[in-house]
Structure 1
Amino acid sequence: MSKNLGITLGLIMAAVLAAGLLVALNGRDGATETPSAQPAPAGQDPTAPTSAPTAPTAPADLLVRENSRYLDQVEDSPVTVVEFLDFECEACRAQFPVMEQIREDYDGRINMVIRYFPLPGHTNSEPAAAAVEAAAQQDALEEMYARMYETQAEWGESRESQAEVFVGFAEDLDLDTDEFVRTMESPDTQERVASDFEDGVALGVQGTPTIFVNGRLAPSMPTHEVLSAMIDAELEG
């Protein structure tokens, strides 16, 4: 992780944790980095049913940017699922099969967007996000996204940089490794990842995975049944 990006993420998370402390002092649950502590997005009543068609939604301009990465993009689809994720997060890895099943079940009917949200406590989460972004720029987003979760047990939780491991993934995918390394290490890519993180913080994201269906916050670690019900409500609406 670059020094500047590290400072940026550190300041943002410090602000988030400070806000959580104030909430805790008022007798409510404090903010954590676990998915069980997902807050409601900006403007949403945390007690409102997330799957209700009339529930308030998070701001669309923060959920999906022009440069956001789509795993699935369907023209004129009425439903967009957005996941803020950390490739080093074990909960995200556990959620991965659910998201893949949703993609299969709703193939050709919904949009699926991923947003990078590397938690500062994970040494290799930001480099992993940068590697996925670098692969995306060579049209290998889906392949690198899946590879990160499939191999997380091999490189996750390391205190040493795993950048060379990620370069190895690029080689396995027959990418231009010189271009891959340049993109992964470039300030523009680091800023791209930081921008996703900042949007997540603005939406109230504090842990991963955090998932929205048409801007409505899903429960923590939503099951296939829960996500299907939310998606179906939007498709039928």
Structure 2
Amino acid sequence: MSKNARISLIIIATVVVVVGGFILLSRLASPSQPQAGNTKAAGPVAAAPADLLVRPDSHKLTDVPNAKVTLVEFLDFECESCRAAYPSVERLRSEYADRVTFVLRYFPIPSHRNAELSATVVEAASRQGKLEAMYKRMYETQAEWGEKQVEQRDLFVGFARDLGLDMAKFEADLNDPATLERVLKDRKDGATVGVQGTPTFFLNGTKFTGRASYEGLKEALDQELAK
């Protein structure tokens, strides 16, 4: 082998070693990335204060005495992601009705024109025992009124009439500042425990970090029930 050939081989070998070492060091220095579909938190997540997640006056769509598992949802009726999660939550409520307590907390997003109003309408309906009926009506009709930049009060009042509410009482409750204050108290609690968007779920006090799908929530519920 000629002298020049030997020199070329030495240079190539040196380059390979240097590049290989650089790649190895880069991998060691970089944090590992979760695999696709892995939605679990990287480490332990501190539980939120129980008295902020579920207050004595919090609305329970399903209330199981001494339930081992409680799922709290902070939601916005004008939020499309909340509407997308709604069928999954309802399916799970049906399947876990005797095992899991499901709690509804309001978290109207300020940028949604009718978020506070729709939550206040649901709260006013709750004063006549119609919270669940109005909650469902809001999601089932969201395509009609969501993302509109005009107030939808007349439409919402029509919902109350359709549900057979005492309209004089409903209007009085809707106009009562205390009703909106009740909605905003939920939002304040949500902000305190770290809610930044909707829907946000807390499972037995810990923020759920998986996908808000039927499969994702069901797996998490089953894991808690199995403990």
* Fold conserved between structures, TM > 0.5: yes
d(CA) in 1 for partners of 2:58, 2:179: 13
Shift of 1:58: 1.3
| Rounded Cα–Cα distance in structure 1 between residues aligned with 2:42 and 2:105 | 25
Q: Is the radius of gyration larger for structure 1 or structure 2?
A: 2
Structure-2 residue corresponding to 1:92: 82
3-state SS in 2 of match to 1:222: coil
Residue 75 (structure 1) aligned with residue 65 (structure 2): yes
Residue number in structure 2 paired with 1:161: 151
Confirm or deny: 8 A CA contact 1:87 1:93 kept in the other structure. yes
Q: TM-score, normalised by structure 1?
A: 0.76
Distance 1:89 1:132, change over 3 A: same
Show the counterpart of 1:40.
none
- Structure 1 CA distance for aligned equivalents of residues 123 and 91 of structure 2: 23
2:28 maps to none
Q: Which runs of 5+ in 1 are unaligned?
A: 1-45, 50-54
Structure 1 position 47, deviation (Å): 2.8
TM-superposed CA distance for 1:221, in Å, is 4.0
Aligned CA distance change for structure 1 residues 173 and 201 (closer, same or farther; 3 Å): same
4+ residue segments displaced more than 2 Å: 46-49
Q: TM-score scaled to structure 2, two decimals?
A: 0.79
Q: Which residue of 2 aligns with 1:115?
A: 105
Residue number in structure 2 paired with 1:216: 206
Number of aligned residue pairs: 188
Q: Could you give the per-residue CA deviations for residues 164-210 of structure 1, whole angstroms, max 9, x where no partner exists? A: 11110011100111111111121111110110010000011110000
Question: Higher RCO, 1 or 2 (CA under 8 Å, sep at least 6)?
Answer: 1
Counterpart of 1:121, as a letter, is S
Distance 1:91 1:104 in 2: 21
Q: Whole-Å Cα distance in 2 between the matches of residues 228 and 56 of structure 1? A: 21
In structure 1, what is the equivalent of residue 119 of structure 2? Answer: 129
CA shift at 1:56, angstroms?
3.0
- How much has 1:151 moved relative to structure 2? 0.2
- The structural deviation recorded for 1:233 is 1.8
2:43 equivalent in structure 1: 48
Aligned match of 1:177 in 134, 144, 167?
167
Residue 63 of structure 2 is aligned to residue 62 of structure 1: no
Counting aligned pairs with the same residue, the percent is 51
- d(CA) in 1 for partners of 2:141, 2:209: 26
CA deviation after TM superposition for structure 1 residue 220, in Å: 5.3
Distance in structure 1 (CA, Å) of the matches to 2:66 and 2:57: 18
Are the structure 2 counterparts of residues 221 and 130 from structure 1 closer, same or farther at C-alpha, using a change threshold of 3 Å? farther
Shift of 1:144: 0.4
2:96 and 2:203 map into 1 onto residues whose CA distance is: 13
Query: Which blocks of at least 5 consecutive residues in structure 2 are unaligned?
Result: 1-40
RMSD: 1.5
8 Å Cα contact 1:130-1:185 kept in structure 2: no
Q: Give yes or no for the alignment of 1:232 onto 2:222.
A: yes
Q: Which amino acid letter does the alignment assign opposite residue 106 of structure 2?
A: Y
Aligned partner (choices 120, 132, 135) of residue 145 of structure 1 = 135
Task: State how far apart, in whole Å, the 2-side matches of 1:220 and 1:118 are.
Answer: 22
Task: Label 1:180 to 1:220 Cα distance change in 2 as closer, same or farther (>3 A).
Answer: farther
